[in-house]
Amino acid sequence: MSTTMVAALNAALRDSLRADANVHVLGEDVGALGGVFRVTDGLAAEFGRQRCLDTPLAEAGILGTAVGMAMYGLRPVVEMQFDAFAYPAFEQVFSHVAKMRNRTGGQMGLPITIRVPYGGGVGGVEHHSDSSEAYYAHTPGLHVVTPATVADSYGLLRSAIASDDPVVFLEPKRLYWSAVDFSPAEVSTAQVPPIGRAMVRRPGTSATLLTYGPSLPVCLEAAAAARSEGWDLAVVDLRSLVPFDDETVCTAVRATGRAVVVHEAAGFAGVGAEIAARVTERCFHHLAAPVLRVTGYDIPYPPPMLEKHHLPSVDRILDAVARLQWEQ
Amino acid sequence: MTVLDDSTAPGLVGPPNSHGPRRDPAPLLPDPEPVRILGTPAAKMFDTELQRELYRRLVLGRRFNQQATTLTRQGRLAVYPASTGQEACQITASMVLREQDWLFPSYRDTLAVVARGVRPVDALTLMRGHAHSGYDPYEHRIAPLSTPLATQASHAVGLAHAARLRAAADPETAEELVALALVGDGGTSEGDFHEALNFAGVLGAPVVFLVQNNGYAISVPLASQSAAPTLAHKAVGYGIVGRLVDGNDALAMHSVLSAAVEHARSGRGPVLVEAITYRLDAHTNADDATRYRSAAEVDAWRARDPLTLLERHLRAAGLLDDAGVAATARAAEDLATEIRAQFDNPPDPDPDSLFTHVYATPTSQLREQAAELAARRDADAYADAAEDEDEDEAR
């Protein structure tokens, strides 16, 4: 059975709503329309308008309302329509969602899932293509999760909704329509991946690509192309930026001695900078070359006709691999 | 003739009334003048025991404000945003709530928190500086004091909405609860205030928003804050009821606020109450109010001190005499003594607690950092002990 990421996310929401009466979905256009990406398709029809609530168009209000609902014991799942449309809710995210458990000495946790379609590569207008993960990952108190595969999008979203901590769930919108042979019904609870574990998507011996979300398929493509250059590249899918899986990442880097971090977001002060620093601090004596980064340029997201120059490509990744100080 | 007049032209005006006015705004409008009871015939109808209770609580509330301010001078509180002059608002905000209700205070509402039963030292924890909040929000049904302005208003909406959802799903355990959100006049300029009122109106949530309009947002007067006829009029734009009340008239405050809470409880929707009051003290002990307001203005408001107004009324009505005043003053001194005693032992917060409640389960990174700090503290303690030993030997 062929399943898209959108369908898998939809199944995860549906199964979560069925499994727990406290789960509520709310956001803009999530009801009759099923969300602008159709991730909430059919939920209002099955569970009623109250459990899949069309809200006023106000992101801070949506999240602030979700905070109050969570205080009362519900598990709200909030949809932010686009990456850049989530910015009005930042004060609620940073000042309350991330801090309430700590502020109250553990007495008031907020089990809120904030779904954010993110990233470019879809020909979107400005404000529809941002990679906003570093803002969230820099804020203690949040978990930041991003699936890169159809199976993970189901499993990680189930885990996010079940988590007692707030989770910013970043959905790579250019993978929304990627389909694989997979049925959500086949995923048993035991197979639902825990939050905080990276996964080696491709073993390799020459160098290790560290990536997540929308850049995973690009890295896998680069690894396939690298074979003709004589390189056997490992590819690690981080899946969770917070908590960060130092163990899996460092094991994979030590095994090859070379690493390249790949993400779409601007490189300066980005998540890749943190990863490169962590790897260098922990694996220095195993490294044959500095950890390199292939990222979006340090520019506002470009217009659709120019975005191909901005996004990490197979060629840019292979060029970085070539610069890993190989012995002649 | 305009296009809109041509109602016979199909497709031009859409379905009938789909975008037209949906309800009559008149019942939502506040009275043109703030509701007052003191000095009016209505005062004679007011429950006498409740009047005495309001007086007692106002006196204790004033003493709480004074004692907390003194604690800042002694360095036992880092900062205290006093509600001196606003005690009628603070006290009634807690009195009108039932046990199942929730209070969503801002940083200036410590007195309302204490009035709902939290120990003073626990209500003042944020200002004392050893933790961000000192009481269990679920035990008292009070959210932590919110420092970011008006952001707690939408929490109140969400909680009230959630209670109604759960009541609908499980009528057996239904709680007819009301959430009361406290905001200042400056807070009404925040986008969060607008969004909270809009959500409350759309969801019909049982919420009451109490705006304590004390005239200033730190230093900026209301005229620079809003061009609205009154802040209570803002309610109309959200389809909710607006009420304007004299915030220094304790009887009017109790009457208007309890009516608003019961209005919300009965499922008739949210209410916005604007209470006209005055902050007699500066913004905090760190503020200099003489830079932005005149002594004459403050004096004029001192003459309208909520305590003075109530005491004068009670004496005139024969409900209070010198002995009653003295007895209440003694109770207030007892409270002050109790507060000082609660502050006797300086807090000794555990540095390990820095890492404990960031997440339900600490991440491996936080476990590493906690271990690093613990090791550093052990090393410091060892060095201190060795130093003491050297000093002893030198003697």
Give me the interface pTM, i.e. the ipTM.
0.95
Verify that A38 and A166 share a domain, yes or no. yes
Domain count, chain A: 2
**Res A55 pLDDT > 80:** yes
Domain that holds residue A292: 199-322
Q: Tell me: do A211 and A318 sit in the same domain.
A: yes
Question: Contacts of residue B156 in chain A, CB cutoff 8 Å?
Answer: 68
Q: Which residues of B touch A24 (CB under 8 A)?
A: 165
Predicted confidence (pLDDT) per residue in B303-331, tens digit: 999 999 999 999 999 999 999 999 999 99
Q: Which CATH architecture group holds B26-342?
A: 3-Layer(aba) Sandwich (3.40)
Share above pLDDT 70 across residues of chain B, in percent, rounded to a whole number: 94
Active site residue B292: yes
- pLDDT of the residue at B9: 47
Report yes or no: B85 and B298 within 8 Å, Cβ to Cβ. Answer: no
Give the E-state strand segments of chain A in sequence order. 2-4, 23-27, 52-54, 75-79, 113-118, 143-145, 167-172, 179-181, 199-202, 207-211, 233-237, 240-242, 259-266, 292-296
Q: Which residues of A touch B179 (CB under 8 A)?
A: 68
Report CA-CA distances (Å) from B218 to A203, A235, B78, B111: 61, 55, 18, 19
Within-domain flag for A211: yes
CATH code of the domain containing A167: 3.40.50.970
**Do A215 and A184 share a structural domain?**
no
**Residues A80 and A154 occupy one common structural domain:** yes
Kindly state whether residues A142 and A7 are assigned to the same domain: yes
Is B359 part of the contact surface with chain A (CB cutoff 8 Å)?
yes
CATH number for the domain including A247?
3.40.50.920
Residue B62 is a catalytic residue: no
User: Do the Cβ atoms of B154 and A67 come within 8 Å?
Assistant: yes
The DSSP-derived string for A118-142 is E---S-PPTTSS---HHHHHTSTT-
To which H or E segment does residue B276 belong? strand B271-276
Residue A29 domain flag? yes
A58/B198 CB distance under 8 A:
yes
How does pLDDT run across A97-112, given as a tens digit for each residue?
Answer: 999 999 999 999 999 9
Q: What is the pLDDT of residues B79-113, one digit of tens each?
A: 999 999 999 999 999 999 999 999 999 999 999 99
Domain end, chosen from A140, A175, A191, is at A191
- From A145, A166, A191, the end of a domain falls on A191
Q: Is B279 a catalytic residue?
A: yes
- Give, as one character, the DSSP assignment of residue A95: I
Residue A327 lies in a domain: no
d(CA B144, CA B152): 9
Distance from CA of B251 to the nearest CA of A (A): 31
B4: confidence class by pLDDT, cuts 50, 70, 90: very low
pLDDT on residue A192: 80
Q: Which of A161, A191, A221 represents a domain boundary (last residue)?
A: A191
Residue A328 domain flag: no
Whether residue B1 has pLDDT greater than 50? no
How distant is the Cα of A141 from the closest Cα of chain B, in angstroms? 5
Rg value, chain A, Cα: 20
Judgement on whether residues A173 and A81 belong to the same structural domain of the protein: yes
